[in-house]
Structure 1
Amino acid sequence: MKNVILAIESSCDETSASVCIDGKVMNNVIATQEIHSKYGGVVPELASRAHQQAIGPVVKEAMTTANVKMSDLSAIAFTQGPGLLGALLVGGAFAKSMALALDIPLIGVHHMKAHILAHFIEEPKPKFPFLCLTVSGGHTQIVRVDDYLDMTVLGQTTDDAVGEAFDKCAKLMGLPYPGGPLIDKLAKEGDKTKFTFNETSMPGLDYSFSGIKTGFMNFLNREKMKDADFVEKNKNDLSASIQRHLIDMLMEKVELAVKQEGVSQVAIAGGVSANSGLRSKLEEMAVEKGWETFIPRFEYCTDNAGMIGMTAHYQWLAGDTAPLSVSPMPRMKF
């Protein structure tokens, strides 16, 4: 009998549904919310309302394109956390309602673990153990992965996530939200060695990105006092320089983790893993250090239900289901 899981992702500002059959992701339907761009960031209440509007059509499309009926489903999976409370509530309530109506199990999935297991959706797939740098707007972690459901956080940010640092620095330059991808685009035309900014160094494998954001802001303020058009004149070089700083900060700790753990398989996951500069740096270091590296297809880097379905598949095999009383956890621990 086939194991057919409907997966729902609603942790932030993208509503997504996917059907996973016997560990194979059949589709990955995503509805992106455009409304937040004019506010310079995600507005939680607006995100919740948009999820309410999109979740029905998105789930219907996923079921239809996978040629799956309600009676075929073995379980319903949803993102339990971490994420925005209102957004998680919409996905969780929808998943609970379906599970109750169909009298099938419910599977609560950890969002960041799902980002890591996105590597098992398509070939090539890493072998255990491997290290994964998970980078997004809300998280920055180095994780040792010993099995599908056996993961250990070796280091993480003590304040802000690297994705938030990208977006904040973009905002300081007057770029629209989301600014991270725009910095990546502008950086391709800039000189990454042109400017240097103050940054914070943490002991061990932990990160801190609040210091470099402050350093970048202070640098811009000083330069704008001399020349009001400084940012506009140097946007490409500023983008390249701040991107170089952030990527170097990330990879310095990854290199340290490889030496500490004796593991040379290195993966990246999460929204920031779509950054072309980070991808290039990882590939460059792989050649230099002899690492074997893994990067998901862009579609599986950003928030998506395909990774939720893949994680739910392994939880299903392990008998890890949840009661209907399960609650969304905005600050769900790893």
Structure 2
Amino acid sequence: MTPFDYARAADTADALRQGAVAGTAYLGGGTNLVDLMRETVARPARLVDVSTLPAAIDETADGGLTIGAAVRNTALAEHPAVRARYPLLSRAILAGASAQIRNMATVGGNLLQRTRCTYFYDTDGSRCNKREPGAGCDAREGFNRIHAVLGASDACVATHPSDMCVALAALDATVHVAGPGGARTIPFADLHRLPGDRPDRDTHLDPGELVTAVALPPLPDGARSTYRKVRDRASYAFALVSVAAVLELEGDRIRHVRIAFGGVAHKPWRAATAEAALLGAAATRQAFLDAAAAEFADARPLRDNAFKPALATRTLAAVLEDLSTGVAA
């Protein structure tokens, strides 16, 4: 591990002041950043610890929630309002990691965790444009079972690893950030980037900006939501495919639907094409299958992950069937 300086922020203003120094990284629970530092993938000269900043989950006037960036994942998953009104979020967090990791990991850190691509972590012999721009991408012709089938580029085929972020994408969350230029809000769908020719940039955050909170709008009355993760083993593997969905019916027709996929792209993938196809349609398995097929019509599978579009299609159909019949929350 490369030597570094360490400081603990007294408050948000202090964090921003210290974070403005070149080579500084913000440290939350450290469950991803410390791993990257051990592997010398990340080599910050200075860490500013923001894990002790205010960590509250507050009700909003419209019936939503505001979640502080320093809230631990366990606290968020177990919060009564989250379990009652946003069960897909609780389920996504519980599917994402062991209790020990959830007890350390923060909401802000979860948003900013980096890919688990093997070639990204292999600093000794693998080419990776995300780690070293211009180096090349060994994953394209290497072992790419877990890699992207949507939104990838010639420069990078890595997938985003977070379960929680897939749920937040389906919930139309908003991210609150503070930075040298002041405070701003970012729709969750606009926080993460597709790789393009700059896969080293994961988000649209500016240098020195700090995530301070995530806001959840209320779900429509009568809406049900859930999260399902398909993985190679039950013991906290990263998703091959995951689905976060919100569904509201009016009779046998779909009045409101939101869908996000994990494990298929460089960012949590909001399924706008599938949503448009389903809105107003009859809630049938064939409609669900057709909508998913439309979403993956432009998929570009690699050698080892050609199964993903079909797997995602079947998973979405199963999730929406459960929601439409009341089997899921």
TM over 0.5: no
What's the TM-score, normalizing by structure 2? Answer: 0.25
Taking CA–CA contacts closer than 8 Å with sequence separation of 6 or more, which of the two structures ends up with the larger relative contact order? 1
Choose 1 or 2 for highest CA Rg. Answer: 1
Structure with the higher helix share, 1 or 2: 1
